[in-house]
């Protein structure tokens, strides 16, 4: 599959995440556990049946560490969603491109270039317009926002951590181990916190299924495929499209009507994403 098409599909799938979390109404750790564990089950059957379980020890260590990082990202983001709402939380969590650019510069000595930073600035400006500048001004730096910012840093760490290993290891095999690690980590975390993990009404289980099959299984299979081919900085900026997709989906499912500023912001976000790909496309055409 074309990496850019794969990325678009993945963004659309994970855009349902905040909506499923809101509708489920379960504890953040519980939602995170079922999102990953439900997706892991069919993946495990396929990996074992097709004998794609072999992996080098070094890559296994990275996959297990990535699983813990991803699980931590999901957990703190779910907390943020329940504290400050889906749209604001998604905006803050999607600061990941900024951290990817900074981490790449500080730790990898890799400059992202003018096009990346220009695209990032445009896309972030678009997300601010989408959410509403006045809404951001009235927000206080509460725990929900801090959790969302932490989630964005973990998100960036995951992208950088998995970039190179996904070029060596099958995406299916990598996700088998990373999601196993995520599931065990979240299960132990939930048990240690005495969090309810079993007794839920039918609608909550349906939302868990949505998180697992749509957001995690399909969403992250396609996103990891894109990460293995596209630059980490550009992938992280493109993931800002999740904010736009979430707003559109919320309009249909939750009955939220998009106003002019939200439509304008969405268009600007997409324009910013496009800018980050311009230079590469020109050079390879």
Burial tier of 67 (Cβ tally within 10 Å: 0-12, 13-18, 19+): buried
pTM: 0.75
In which band, very low, low, confident or very high, does the pLDDT at 282 lie, cut at 50, 70 and 90? very low
Domain ranges in the chain are 3-284
Rounded to whole angstroms, the Cα distance separating 227 from 209 reads 25
Burial tier of 192 (Cβ tally within 10 Å: 0-12, 13-18, 19+): exposed
Q: What is the mean pLDDT of residues 179-203?
A: 93
Rounded to whole angstroms, the Cα distance separating 265 from 253 reads 20
Burial tier of 75 (Cβ tally within 10 Å: 0-12, 13-18, 19+): buried
Q: What is the pLDDT of residues 172-189, one digit of tens each?
A: 899 899 999 999 999 999
Write down the pLDDT at residue 50: 92
- ∠ CA 57-59-60, nearest 5°, is 60
Write down the pLDDT at residue 165: 85
Indicate if the alpha-carbon torsion angle 62, 63, 64, 70 is positive or negative: positive
Residue 111 φ/ψ, nearest 5 degrees: -80, 135
3 state SS of 233: helix
Q: What is the pLDDT of residues 74-98, one digit of tens each?
A: 889 888 887 776 666 776 676 666 7
Q: What is the pLDDT of residues 257-277, one digit of tens each?
A: 666 776 777 677 667 766 766
């Amino acid at each position: 599959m074309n990496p850019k098409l794969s990325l678009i599909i993945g963004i659309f799938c994970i855009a349902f995440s905040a909506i499923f979390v809101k509708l489920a109404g379960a504890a953040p750790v519980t939602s995170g556990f079922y999102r990953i564990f439900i997706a892991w089950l069919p993946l495990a059957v396929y990996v074992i049946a097709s004998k794609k379980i072999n992996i080098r020890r070094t890559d296994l260590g990275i996959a297990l560490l990535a699983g813990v990082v991803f699980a931590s990202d999901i957990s703190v983001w779910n907390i943020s969603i329940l504290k400050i709402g889906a749209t604001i939380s998604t905006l803050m969590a999607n600061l990941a491109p900024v951290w990817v650019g900074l981490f790449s510069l500080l730790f990898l000595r890799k400059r992202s270039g003018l096009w990346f930073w220009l695209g990032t600035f445009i896309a972030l400006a678009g997300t601010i317009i989408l959410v509403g500048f006045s809404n951001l001004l009235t927000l206080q730096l509460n725990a929900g926002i801090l959790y969302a910012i932490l989630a964005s840093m973990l998100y960036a760490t995951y992208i950088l951590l998995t970039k190179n290993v996904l070029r060596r290891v099958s995406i299916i095999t990598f996700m088998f181990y990373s999601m196993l690690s995520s599931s065990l980590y979240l299960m132990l975390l939930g048990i240690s916190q005495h969090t309810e993990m079993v007794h839920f009404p039918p609608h909550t289980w349906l939302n868990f299924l949505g998180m697992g099959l749509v957001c995690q299984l399909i969403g992250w299979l396609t996103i990891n495929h894109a990460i293995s081919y596209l630059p980490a900085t550009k992938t992280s900026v493109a993931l800002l499209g999740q904010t736009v997709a979430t707003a559109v989906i919320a309009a249909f499912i939750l009955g939220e009507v998009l106003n002019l500023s939200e439509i304008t912001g969405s268009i600007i976000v997409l324009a910013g994403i496009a800018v980050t790909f311009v230079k590469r496309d020109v050079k390879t055409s």
